């Protein structure tokens, strides 16, 4: 019986992905700006280096890359050369690499003519091919895969995979959308039931950037997610999976963090705070905690001020949020080394008032808040909600190119925001009238 073996499964590296919107970084000195920009520009390559180091450290037998290795079909030369260099490092350690291309780096794009080491197998476009993994003269696994011939693949590529009867442990590499995930384009659509019934031991999937373990055994069906977040929406820990396969074919999965830069959302409540100094100290405390939690890894943080409190009105004054952002960038980023970079700051605070009591008052604000409550109740009733949308239809026809009518949850959020806006505009006047 064969001894066990191991492999790493990664996908969606998007090498040399541009970080749009970060060319102009303000509030810091030129050296700090260049340090932040350089690490952002290079983070996909840092992640690739981390994957190579993980392959070497864990002494895996092979690496599987399930599509979108490059960010564009017309691949940058820099990205191709960095990838070639990484493959040569793995070749020196005797580690095989199996590469499928996806919708971003499909076969219809432009590429440089480069010499690739013999350890790399590129799956052909539009057809499934199989390649054995041989160790000490014995086949320990067989890896099947397919690459995209063009960007918009609508065919069910999963149906093309056929396991050969005498194959040992089998890995199927596919860039696809299982179950119609709405967060991503529906390329190479298929159903989980199809994958489970196809007879393979491990489905190494790509395309979905959020890590998803669709099935942990018999067979494993795995999205490792993108190993490097590319914008604030792709936040949290990113990486790849290490699969250890026992002599009898059981798979043990371990997630390995690989990201070169990490994105985080940080909420800071203002409840109970009465001075800007206290708010600065609270933000500082949150960012210190973030830095300790992520160790030496650079972090880009999107700050959101939340809650109700006395600071709400002062935060609305021109320049206040920019001043907080400038101060925190100076504290947590420098001209070299790791950093916590406050990417932006958003104010989602509101006044410290009892809206429910105010709703019952005989005031203009009370009337507005009561109408808002009625609208929220109507939107939750299917018949009345339809009538409410009919009232909004004339407005919608004029702005249909720019906005769609909101669903119930979004509609309620808009009503909440409208209530807070009314409070901002009218509360001071109501207070003055009450005092008079």
Mean pLDDT computed over 199-208: 97
Give me the helix-helix angle, 320-332 and 276-293, nearest 10°.
40
C-alpha 205/C-alpha 191 separation (Å) is 13
- Residue 28 pLDDT > 60: yes
Low-confidence winner among 201-210, 290-299, 356-365 (lowest mean pLDDT): 356-365
* Residue 325, pLDDT score: 94
Mean pLDDT computed over 189-205: 97
* Residue 306, pLDDT score: 95
Q: Are 4 and 58 in contact (CB under 8 A)?
A: no
User: What is the band of 1 on the pLDDT scale with cuts at 50, 70, 90?
Assistant: very low
pLDDT tens-digit profile of 220-238?
999 999 999 988 889 999 9
Mean pLDDT computed over 391-399: 54
* Residue 313, pLDDT score: 87
Q: Are 198 and 190 in contact (CB under 8 A)?
A: no
The span from the first CA to the last CA of the chain, in angstroms, equals: 91
C-alpha 185/C-alpha 53 separation (Å) is 32
- Residue 242 pLDDT > 70: yes
User: What is the band of 283 on the pLDDT scale with cuts at 50, 70, 90?
Assistant: very high
pLDDT tens-digit profile of 303-324?
999 998 989 989 989 999 999 9
What CATH number labels 5-257?
3.60.21.10
* Residue 117, pLDDT score: 96
* Residue 366, pLDDT score: 67
| Average pLDDT score over the chain | 87
- Residue 417 pLDDT > 70: no
**Of residues 97, 92, 156, the one with CA closest to residue 123:** 97
Kindly give, in sequence order, each residue whose CB lies less than 8 Å from that of residue 36, ignoring residues fewer than 6 positions away: 22, 25, 28, 298, 333, 339, 341
User: What is the band of 414 on the pLDDT scale with cuts at 50, 70, 90?
Assistant: low
Of 328 and 420, the structure prediction assigns the larger pLDDT to 328
Percent of the chain with pLDDT over 70: 80
* Residue 211, pLDDT score: 96
- Residue 431 pLDDT > 80: no
Kindly give, in sequence order, each residue whose CB lies less than 8 Å from that of residue 285, ignoring residues fewer than 6 positions away: none
**Which residue spans within 348-399 are E strands per DSSP?**
none
Range list for CATH 3.60.21.10 in the chain? 5-257
CB atoms within 10 A of CB 142: 21
* Residue 3, pLDDT score: 79
């Amino acid at each position: 019986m064969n001894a066990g073996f191991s492999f790493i499964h990664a996908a969606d590296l998007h090498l040399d992905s541009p970080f749009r919107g970060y060319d102009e970084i303000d509030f810091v000195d030129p050296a700090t700006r260049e340090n932040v920009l350089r690490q952002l520009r290079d983070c996909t390559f840092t992640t690739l280096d981390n994957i190579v180091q993980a392959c070497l450290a864990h002494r895996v037998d092979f690496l599987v890359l399930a599509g979108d290795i490059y960010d564009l079909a017309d691949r940058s030369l820099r990205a191709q050369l960095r990838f070639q260099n990484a493959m040569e490092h793995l070749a020196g350690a005797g580690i095989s690499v199996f590469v499928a291309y996806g919708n971003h780096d499909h076969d219809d794009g432009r590429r440089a003519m480069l010499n690739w080491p013999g350890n790399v197998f590129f799956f052909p476009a539009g057809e499934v091919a199989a390649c054995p993994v041989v160790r000490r003269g014995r086949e320990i696994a067989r890896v099947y895969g397919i690459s995209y011939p063009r960007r918009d693949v609508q065919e069910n590529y999963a149906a093309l995979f056929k396991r050969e009867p005498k194959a040992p442990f089998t890995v199927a590499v596919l860039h696809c959308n299982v179950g119609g995930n709405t967060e991503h384009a529906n390329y190479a659509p298929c159903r989980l039931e199809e994958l489970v019934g196809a007879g393979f031991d491990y489905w190494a999937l790509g395309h979905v950037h959020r890590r998803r373990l669709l099935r942990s055994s018999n067979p494993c069906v795995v999205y490792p997610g993108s190993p490097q977040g590319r914008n604030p929406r792709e936040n949290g820990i990113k990486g790849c999976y290490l699969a250890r396969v026992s002599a009898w074919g059981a798979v043990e999965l371990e997630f390995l963090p690989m990201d070169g830069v990490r994105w985080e959302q940080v909420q800071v409540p203002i409840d109970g705070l009465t001075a800007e100094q206290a708010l600065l100290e609270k933000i500082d405390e949150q960012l210190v905690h973030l830095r300790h939690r992520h160790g030496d890894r650079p972090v880009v943080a999107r700050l959101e001020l939340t809650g109700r409190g006395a600071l709400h009105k002062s935060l609305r004054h021109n320049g206040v949020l920019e001043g907080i952002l400038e101060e925190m960038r100076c504290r947590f980023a420098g001209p070299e080394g790791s950093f916590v970079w406050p990417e932006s700051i958003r104010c989602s605070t509101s006044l410290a008032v009892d809206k429910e009591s105010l709703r019952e008052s005989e005031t203009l604000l009370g009337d507005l808040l009561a109408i808002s409550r009625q609208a929220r109740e109507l939107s939750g009733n299917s018949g009345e909600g339809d009538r409410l949308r009919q009232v909004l239809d004339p407005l919608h026809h004029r702005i249909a190119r720019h906005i769609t009518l909101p669903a119930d949850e979004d509609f309620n959020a808009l009503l909440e925001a409208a209530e807070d806006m009314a409070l901002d505009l009218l509360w001071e006047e109501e207070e003055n009238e009450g005092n008079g």
